Structure 1
């Protein structure tokens, strides 16, 4: 039974990490949600259970990032415009929204002041007014540098454009539509206690719970594992309504690596990207607040993936790295021990007549390609490409059946142009301007099989 392995992994992480309370949820499109809690809440009025709430820390940033992309899709902002175009700031207003989303704008990590020493955070107005006291620690676009300040600025930028507070816009445009009823800005009655666990004994000290004020768009939220697993699944396979799936795909494209010498993780537009081998990637965010750690991810691609696969691991210890490891382990286990059912192949309608002469083998740059018609679309792949590599997919331009746009895969965005003989048969193609022919031709048009060995032009 797969649940036994899930349970063992969770219980081992809780014991090894010495985590007072651990709440885990795994959701997928083809199964009922799986939930497990281990430990004690520290809240005598609300024992630990599926409805227990944990701080999710910087997982909050993924919500703020979606709010920014919603505003972009609604025409309220341009990702490549500077912040100062939309928000009156005394300094660093030249940073673009795209750079802030990907943590490549060079903003210092926190707002001005020792907020983690005093536990006093500025409100939104003061935080923005004191931007001239915060440093630009790196030049724009130089490299990845994580910044709570940058995402907080973006949260208030969206709030201004929408005419409300960050919390109001978040609830209206994300939490309510997705049914995330247990995700809140304010600390709920069901909150578990967060702890600092002593390194040299089994003692645990409660950490203070405090409001982040103006920094809220970066790390304020409380939630349940079930709500957060649902959010992880949304980031992997979004249903239309909250955000166009193509926009979420844009957010998932890597903008930067987080470590130039170890390419184990990257950052997209507000999302962490963790490759997991064989064309799979985990997309989501980690979170940390005093006494809490969280990992919330969805799984994209890979063999056995049922789709809509998301996992959340929420813990009440601020030092247990097992929380952030367990979320990835459970996503791997889900496709290893309980993979999606294999759907039987069934015959379908043939390719439309205008594209039938495209099907088959073609040559370009000395390499062989195979063009086919599958799932109602013209597709192409390199003949010797690994089986798991997605094909290029084409879509005809409006009113131009012989000119197609590459909409995914190799050469995305480029045109494929078909050239026909007098009978209407496609005899030559140009893809991204490279010539495609039925025989293996050199760049001068001669067949490789006809040319004598020698020096060109000799």
Structure 2
């Protein structure tokens, strides 16, 4: 698959990697670096906007540390002459309405502003849409968040990234400069086989949106972290799994009619069908394309599953779809091992009598005790749909909090008769009974 993309896409160098918790890392590099270096797994490529996922993680780290709130206006943390009322959350999800690029013709001159100029020129940047109106991609917005993080942490963006993300995760090949082991990026002539080298560029204060270089192996590991942080960072040293859950929740779609992709907090979400989603980001810079995605959900998906494909052509668009196909092929042809079922502990005595079938609003639900927790699912739910999972509320033995699945966050309350039998449930205040019941004749004063 990698060789076909390199040949058909006319990409001088393609480097791909697949990460899984249950298999050795897999890499494949095809082509040549375009310089005196030898193409291999350690060759660096520019990853462009995949950089944004790192900046987003830095922002959420600051939130979890109490340094900011996602609904803070950016002006609370940066001294800006305009647009200071735009919130961190809107900038992360590309729903702030801020124009796409910094003021000036950055993509004509390739002369990116420094930090002082970036902030000063905000007064000349447009709000092209009202905040929260719709998705509008903004490198400028992500650049502001990178400078915000740098200000809060007391260093440059690159220094903060190295200390708080790259070093803890062991991403030793990822850096803001290419170094000697980098491939040359090219523009491939549309009507001949000539490859025109692109000049390396430094994006200055816009670096938090697009500056990084990396290897496919590092990026496959990063993708696996975004999809399954508990497997790569079990202590939550970089980010708690619950925070990654928050980042992966879709806040907007990129197209109002197709719903083929969405954005969470700095992350692109690409549904694959059958309750599978790929999470990560694409990247494009002069001479380079990159696609980095982790896989969540679905049969055959292994833990910590991520893929990265990096190419040294700005026009080799076949690169962009390949991680999705690699992940799907790996799950289909080398599925994760099926763990054998083993008997577990019985349900607590005070819950055993309430297990089984209950009816709410005319629909049947099944409550059971599995993997040490009370769970519920619709009787007609498809097999792959996750159940609701409940956790006990301290000091209230008949009250539970829904911690995942349907009605997450809501309470489940058990009502008992005089002999202790559970005769009614209230879940998110809706009544559940052992048999179908209408609302007719129900005493609403109770």
Distance 1:102 1:14 in 2: 32
The within-5 A match list for 1:127-146 is: 127-146=118-137
Secondary structure class of the residue paired with 1:358: coil
Q: Which residue of 1 aligns with 2:19?
A: 27
Deviation at 1:445, TM superposition (A): 5.2
Deviation at 1:278, TM superposition (A): 0.4
The within-5 A match list for 1:150-169 is: 150-169=141-160
Matching of residue 190 in structure 1 with residue 181 in structure 2 = yes
Q: Which residue of 2 aligns with 1:279?
A: 275
Instruction: Give 5+ residue unaligned stretches, structure 1.
Output: 1-8, 447-458
Distance 1:401 1:62 in 2: 42
TM-score (norm. length: structure 2):
0.97
Check whether the contact 2:15–2:311 (CA below 8 A) recurs between aligned residues.
yes
Matching of residue 108 in structure 1 with residue 92 in structure 2 = no
Match of 1:430 among 418, 426, 432: 426
Q: Which residue of 2 aligns with 1:37?
A: 29
Distance 1:71 1:441 in 2: 50
Match of 2:328 among 315, 323, 332: 332
Match of 1:17 among 9, 16, 20: 9
Q: Which residue of 2 aligns with 1:6?
A: none
Distance 1:294 1:343 in 2: 34
Matching of residue 365 in structure 1 with residue 361 in structure 2 = yes
Match of 1:215 among 172, 186, 206: 206
Q: Which residue of 1 aligns with 2:410?
A: 414
Q: Which residue of 1 aligns with 2:287?
A: 291
Check whether the contact 2:45–2:178 (CA below 8 A) recurs between aligned residues.
no
Distance 2:69 2:304 in 1: 29
Match of 2:193 among 202, 211, 217: 202
Paired positions, count: 437
Q: Which residue of 1 aligns with 2:54?
A: 63
Deviation at 1:378, TM superposition (A): 0.4
Alpha-carbon displacement from aligned partner over 1:410-457 (angstroms, at most 9, x marks no partner): 0011110111122222111100100011010111357xxxxxxxxxxx
Distance 1:255 1:395 in 2: 27
Distance 2:216 2:420 in 1: 59
CA RMSD of aligned residues (A): 0.8
Matching of residue 53 in structure 1 with residue 49 in structure 2 = no
Distance 2:192 2:64 in 1: 52
Matching of residue 258 in structure 1 with residue 249 in structure 2 = no
Instruction: Give 5+ residue unaligned stretches, structure 2.
Output: 231-235
Secondary structure class of the residue paired with 2:289: strand
Secondary structure class of the residue paired with 1:158: helix
Distance 2:439 2:2 in 1: 59
Deviation at 1:63, TM superposition (A): 0.2
Secondary structure class of the residue paired with 1:145: coil
Check whether the contact 2:78–2:148 (CA below 8 A) recurs between aligned residues.
yes
Distance 1:211 1:242 in 2: 27
Q: Which residue of 1 aligns with 2:399?
A: 403
Q: 1:168 to 1:445 in 2, by over 3 A?
A: farther
Check whether the contact 2:91–2:141 (CA below 8 A) recurs between aligned residues.
yes
Distance 2:139 2:165 in 1: 21
Secondary structure class of the residue paired with 2:145: helix
Deviation at 1:79, TM superposition (A): 0.3
TM-score (norm. length: structure 1):
0.94
Check whether the contact 2:153–2:160 (CA below 8 A) recurs between aligned residues.
yes
Matching of residue 76 in structure 1 with residue 84 in structure 2 = no
Alpha-carbon displacement from aligned partner over 1:72-130 (angstroms, at most 9, x marks no partner): 00000000111111111111111110000000001111100001111100011110111
Match of 1:147 among 138, 145, 157: 138
Deviation at 1:357, TM superposition (A): 1.7
Distance 1:402 1:64 in 2: 43
Check whether the contact 2:415–2:423 (CA below 8 A) recurs between aligned residues.
yes
Alpha-carbon displacement from aligned partner over 1:278-316 (angstroms, at most 9, x marks no partner): 000000000000000000000000111111000000000
Q: Which residue of 2 aligns with 1:231?
A: 222
Match of 1:173 among 156, 164, 169: 164
Deviation at 1:165, TM superposition (A): 1.0
Match of 1:444 among 427, 440, 444: 440
Q: Which residue of 1 aligns with 2:233?
A: none
Secondary structure class of the residue paired with 1:314: strand
